[in-house]
Amino acid sequence: MKRLTRRGLLSKTTRLCLGALSACLLSACKQQVIEVEKVIEKEVTKIIKEVVRETVIVEGTPQVIERTVEKLVTVAPAPRPKVIVVADVMSYGWTQFAMLISPAFEELFPNVAMRWNAASDWSEYPKRIALLSASGQLGDLLESPPGALLARWAQKQVIRPLDDIIVADGFDTSGIFKSALRFSLYQDKQISLPFLCHTGENVLLYHTGLFDKAKLPYPSADWTLNDLSKAAASLTRDQDGDGKTDQFGYDVRYDLPGAYPMLGLFGAYLFSQDGRRCLINSESGIACLRWAQEQIKVHKVAPSPAQLERGSLEMLRSGKLGMLRHNFRTLVDLRRSNKPEIDGVLFPKRPVTGKIGTLASGMVYCISQQSQVAREAFQWIKFMSSREMGVQMFLGGYADPGCRAASWKDVRILERFPLCAQVATVADTAEIERLPANLRISECLEAWNRGIAPLLFGEITPEECVQRIERDIVRILAQPPEEDGFAVPDIR
């Protein structure tokens, strides 16, 4: 069937009426109607009926007539308004990255736009979110470290569970570190999803120059605490001969939450699983504290708090300290500050048990209970928790390599930091921080840090230390839940 426009057909009418050519054409068009050409839109949202005048050729004659016919036409949809996802977040590196990458997200989702509210640091953030929530002005997307703040938001219904959205979306979480998914839970509900994950302060930083000078092999992944103590003894020395140690092999850092991996290494816990009891006064807790004290007072390979000069990191930088337990991010920062002689390996295992100390931590995204665009906000969470975003965050210097083993083991990252592969091997099974039932975590950590100082100075025994800490924490656990004040030590 031949299709012509009305204008084209009318322009040919004269010639059709004049000669043999018109007769041949009419003969070929028996009982057929010449249809009006139609344009089909790419996106059809509405079909309507329209009455039009259509030109037809009457069979067997050169006569051209018009008749009224009914046809279906399509109407192009009006542009849909953009959905705005409002993010109330903190002012750290990962937020800078998120703001920079949001245009790429909006290109993937043309009907979604990200709006970033004024960010604040950790000391102000919980209060700001509480005020916005109380006034009904809270945004759609929030972020938090795992722990007391996240649990309190869930209790107060500041944030909503994500389980229904995850199921409806079909989002596959299998590639995310299992420990990161666990610290994103509250009462078996997925109240958040991670976009960053690490394993706490369980990296042994070491000064390669000091090892080279002492002709010692560098620390390796198969080391135990015994290997660490032996190497520390070889690195500890009186360099100027005045009878005072001025180069130490290792520094003991036991403040919480940084020291959680050391507790885990010895199988010790500050709280019971339900957070209602203090468990530090135990054989494993005492063993953990005794090891620390012995490095200072017995083996003399670690400085006492009074012997620290401008802090552990500065001593490591300046070559006055051979080894230090810290986190992976610190290693990255040291390398980027032109300290190539500082390297790192996973912190040594405990002899006999082979246990590795870890603490799963990181950052999560939550969706507020007030949000009317939860599904669009969830698309942002998926975007930021992807493998490539983890890689790009790290390569850009904004944060650790995301929350997936695939990111931590990406060849672009391993070329710079092979240690990332070691971190990824233990991240799935990393310990999750146990919280006090009343969520008074700040007070409990203060009680620990207060109690540990006399131990490191050698003023009390490990047994006396755990008794003091236990007494103070039992008193704190007996108090009602804290209504305000979510602050914990630095989250970076």
Same domain as 323, residue 459: yes
Beta pairing partners, 69:
52
- The mean pLDDT of 163-172, rounded to a whole number, is 97
- Considering the domain boundaries, does residue 114 fall inside one? yes
Q: Residue 247: name the closest of 223, 219, 211, 281 by CA.
A: 211
- pLDDT for 287 equals 97
Rounded-to-integer distance, Cα 220 and Cα 182, Å: 29
Instruction: Examine the pLDDT at 195 and tell me if it is beyond 80.
Output: yes
- Considering the domain boundaries, does residue 487 fall inside one? no
Same domain as 452, residue 400: no
Beta-carbon contacts of 445 under 8 Å, excluding residues fewer than 6 positions away, are 256, 257, 488, 489
Domain boundary among 49, 75, 101: 75
Same domain as 294, residue 165: no
Q: Which of 11-25, 161-175, 219-233, 403-417 has the lowest mean pLDDT?
A: 11-25
- Distances 443 to 123, 275, 282, 488 between C-alpha atoms, Å: 16, 14, 21, 9
- pLDDT for 76 equals 55
The residue whose two tokens read 């109240």 is 191
Domain boundary among 33, 58, 75: 75
- Considering the domain boundaries, does residue 44 fall inside one? yes
Same domain as 346, residue 259: yes
Same domain as 153, residue 32: no
- pLDDT for 240 equals 79
User: Could you tell me if 445 and 280 are in contact, meaning their C-beta atoms sit under 8 angstroms apart?
Assistant: no
Rounded-to-integer distance, Cα 341 and Cα 318, Å: 11
- Considering the domain boundaries, does residue 484 fall inside one? no
CATH classification at residue 230: 3.40.190.10
How does pLDDT run across 42-51, given as a tens digit for each residue?
333 344 444 4
Same domain as 280, residue 152: no
Instruction: Examine the pLDDT at 28 and tell me if it is beyond 80.
Output: no
Answer with the residue of higher pLDDT: 312 or 241.
Answer: 312
How does pLDDT run across 249-289, given as a tens digit for each residue?
999 999 999 999 999 999 999 999 999 999 999 999 999 99
Instruction: Examine the pLDDT at 33 and tell me if it is beyond 80.
Output: no
Instruction: Examine the pLDDT at 41 and tell me if it is beyond 90.
Output: no
- The mean pLDDT of 465-472, rounded to a whole number, is 98
Same domain as 467, residue 325: yes
Instruction: Examine the pLDDT at 60 and tell me if it is beyond 90.
Output: no
User: Could you tell me if 107 and 82 are in contact, meaning their C-beta atoms sit under 8 angstroms apart?
Assistant: no
Instruction: Examine the pLDDT at 30 and tell me if it is beyond 80.
Output: no
How does pLDDT run across 297-344, given as a tens digit for each residue?
999 999 999 999 889 999 999 999 999 999 999 999 999 999 999 999
Same domain as 242, residue 328: yes
Domain boundary among 15, 40, 75: 75
- The mean pLDDT of 232-238, rounded to a whole number, is 95
Same domain as 218, residue 195: no
- Considering the domain boundaries, does residue 489 fall inside one? no
Beta pairing partners, 144:
364
Same domain as 419, residue 374: yes
User: Could you tell me if 246 and 238 are in contact, meaning their C-beta atoms sit under 8 angstroms apart?
Assistant: yes
- The mean pLDDT of 30-39, rounded to a whole number, is 35
- The mean pLDDT of 178-187, rounded to a whole number, is 96
- pLDDT for 482 equals 72
Beta-carbon contacts of 380 under 8 Å, excluding residues fewer than 6 positions away, are 85, 87, 105, 112, 114, 141, 365
- Distances 211 to 32, 225, 244, 251, 301 between C-alpha atoms, Å: 95, 17, 21, 16, 15
- Domain residues for the domain of 37 are 6-75
- Considering the domain boundaries, does residue 350 fall inside one? yes
> CA triplet 116, 120, 122: central angle to 5 degrees?
130
Same domain as 444, residue 382: no
Q: Are strands 83-88 and 112-116 parallel, antiparallel or unpaired?
A: parallel
Q: Residue 433: name the closest of 447, 444, 423 by CA.
A: 444
Q: Is the pTM of this model over 0.95?
A: no
Answer with the residue of higher pLDDT: 387 or 42.
Answer: 387
- pLDDT for 241 equals 81
User: Could you tell me if 232 and 214 are in contact, meaning their C-beta atoms sit under 8 angstroms apart?
Assistant: no
Beta pairing partners, 123:
none
- Considering the domain boundaries, does residue 184 fall inside one? yes
Domains contained in the chain, number: 3
Token pair belonging to 350: 């405990």
Answer with the residue of higher pLDDT: 241 or 245.
Answer: 245
CB atoms within 10 A of CB 59: 13
How does pLDDT run across 104-131, given as a tens digit for each residue?
999 999 999 999 997 788 889 999 999 9
What's the chain's average pLDDT? 86
- pLDDT for 78 equals 53
Q: Which pLDDT band holds residue 487 (cuts at 50, 70, 90)?
A: very low
- Considering the domain boundaries, does residue 482 fall inside one? no
In Å, the largest CA–CA distance within the chain is 124
Q: In this structure, which long-range contacts are made by residues 327-330, counting pairs with CB atoms below 8 Å and at least 24 apart in sequence?
A: 327/198, 327/200, 327/201, 327/202, 327/203, 327/258, 328/198, 328/199, 328/203, 328/400, 328/417, 328/419, 328/420, 328/423, 329/198, 329/400, 329/492, 330/203, 330/205
Same domain as 61, residue 156: no
End-to-end CA distance of the chain: give it in Å, rounded: 71
Give the alpha-carbon dihedral of 13, 17, 22, 28, to 10 degrees. Answer: 80
